[in-house]
């Protein structure tokens, strides 16, 4: 087995499908065991942090429709509503329409492409460059290329113990939504709750009990997403806390891992926005201190 971008993307699919922390790390190790040290280090960085570039979902959808030769409404829009996101929709449509290329570059080459995309000076040049990449890669690889440009990386939920930072934080949150393997956590905001971050696995020993509890708490379903009464409380560990004024909370947790399920805790024990604000300012202050 090689350790090129195609194999990296196959590993991404396996990691995303895995339901527990241990299974996700095991899926990652299959790729890492065939990679040289430099490629392995790059893979870990891409899984956990990605290479962010400013690509908006709306613009991504418009450019994809031109590339695929299909109308946005009703074809792309209907597919996206069923699938849940633009990048996955592009992948499925490209596979069915036979779009894309056949190149299988190595991971350092893809890293160079990601850096080049991030250096594009404006939106028009970014999407021109992105389409040029789509024309070179098969649909699966094109999909993961886009996912690697997302802020905080592809959010696969895989974490390695030696990657955890000394500044790791912990707070209590509730489960608001799930979409496939993606879990959205929330904090208190007034009388309700707002999303604060996403992760991809419950603790392995409690996963079966969690599924039963969420089935009882489900209140709605739209496409692949299930919504729940905010009553399942968890202790969440996070590596980063970023200011993001485009979100309801104003902050976003990254590199999130659910440490344990707090079965006896009530929703009013969950962190509120004032707590998140304090954590964010405190972490920013400490990160600016001279070492």
pLDDT of residue 224: 86
Tokens 């024309």 correspond to 135
Q: Is residue 126 part of a domain?
A: yes
CATH of the domain at 130: 1.10.3260.10
Residues 138, 169, single domain; the answer is no
Q: Is residue 214 part of a domain?
A: yes
Residues 136, 54, single domain; the answer is yes
Assign residue 179 a region (left: φ > 0; alpha: ψ between -120 and 50; beta: otherwise): beta
Q: Is residue 155 part of a domain?
A: no
Residues 179, 219, single domain; the answer is yes
Q: Would you tell me how many other CB atoms lie within 10 Å of the CB of residue 224?
A: 14
Q: Is residue 232 part of a domain?
A: yes
**Please, what are the averages of pLDDT over each run of 10 residues along the chain (291 residues)?**
86 84 83 91 86 83 92 90 85 93 94 93 92 95 92 70 57 92 91 91 85 94 92 89 86 86 89 85 54 38
Q: Is residue 158 part of a domain?
A: no
Residues 189, 253, single domain; the answer is yes
Q: Considering 118, 148, 178, which residue would you say is the last residue of a domain?
A: 148
Compute the distance between CA of residue 258 and CA of residue 260 in angstroms, rounded to an integer: 6
Residues 9, 135, single domain; the answer is yes
Number of domains in the chain: 2
Residues 114, 174, single domain; the answer is no
Residues 48, 17, single domain; the answer is yes
Residues 142, 220, single domain; the answer is no
Q: Is residue 154 part of a domain?
A: no
CATH of the domain at 210: 2.40.50.140
pLDDT of residue 208: 86
Residues 121, 173, single domain; the answer is no
Compute the distance between CA of residue 91 and CA of residue 97 in angstroms, rounded to an integer: 10
pLDDT of residue 286: 46
Which residues partner with 199 through β-bridges?
183
Domain span at residue 263 reads 164-287
pLDDT of residue 159: 64
Q: Is residue 191 part of a domain?
A: yes
Residues 32, 122, single domain; the answer is yes
Burial pattern 267-277, b for ≥16 Cβ within 10 A else e, equals: beebbebeebe
Residues 141, 215, single domain; the answer is no
Q: Is residue 28 part of a domain?
A: yes
Q: Considering 116, 148, 180, which residue would you say is the last residue of a domain?
A: 148
Residues 136, 208, single domain; the answer is no
Q: Considering 115, 148, 181, which residue would you say is the last residue of a domain?
A: 148
CB 275 within 8 A of CB 250: no
């Amino acid at each position: 087995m090689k350790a090129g971008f195609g194999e990296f993307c196959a590993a991404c699919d396996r990691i995303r499908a895995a339901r527990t922390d241990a299974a996700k790390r095991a899926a990652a190790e299959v790729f890492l065991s065939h990679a040289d040290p430099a490629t392995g280090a790059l893979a870990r960085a891409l899984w956990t942090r990605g290479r962010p570039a400013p690509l908006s979902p709306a613009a991504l959808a418009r450019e994809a429709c031109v590339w695929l030769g299909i109308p946005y409404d009703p074809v792309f829009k209907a597919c996206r509503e069923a699938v849940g996101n633009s990048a996955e929709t592009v992948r499925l449509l490209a596979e069915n329409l036979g779009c894309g290329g056949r190149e299988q570059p190595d991971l350092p080459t893809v890293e160079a492409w990601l850096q080049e995309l991030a250096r594009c000076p404006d939106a028009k040049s970014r999407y021109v460059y992105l389409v040029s990449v789509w024309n070179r890669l098969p649909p699966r690889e094109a999909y993961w290329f886009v996912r690697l440009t997302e802020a905080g990386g592809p959010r696969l939920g895989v974490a390695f113990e030696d990657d955890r930072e000394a500044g790791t934080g912990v707070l209590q949150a509730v489960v608001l939504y799930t979409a496939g393997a993606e879990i959205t956590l929330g904090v208190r905001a007034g009388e309700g709750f707002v999303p604060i971050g996403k992760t991809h696995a419950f603790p392995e020993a409690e996963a079966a009990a969690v599924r039963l509890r969420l089935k009882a708490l489900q209140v709605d379903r739209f496409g692949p997403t299930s919504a729940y009464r905010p009553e399942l409380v968890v202790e969440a560990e996070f590596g980063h806390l970023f200011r993001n004024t485009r979100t309801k909370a104003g902050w976003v947790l990254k590199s999130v891992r659910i440490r344990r399920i707090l079965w006896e805790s009530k929703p009013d024990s969950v962190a509120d926005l004032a707590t998140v604000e304090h954590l964010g300012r405190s972490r920013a202050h400490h990160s600016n201190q001279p070492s």
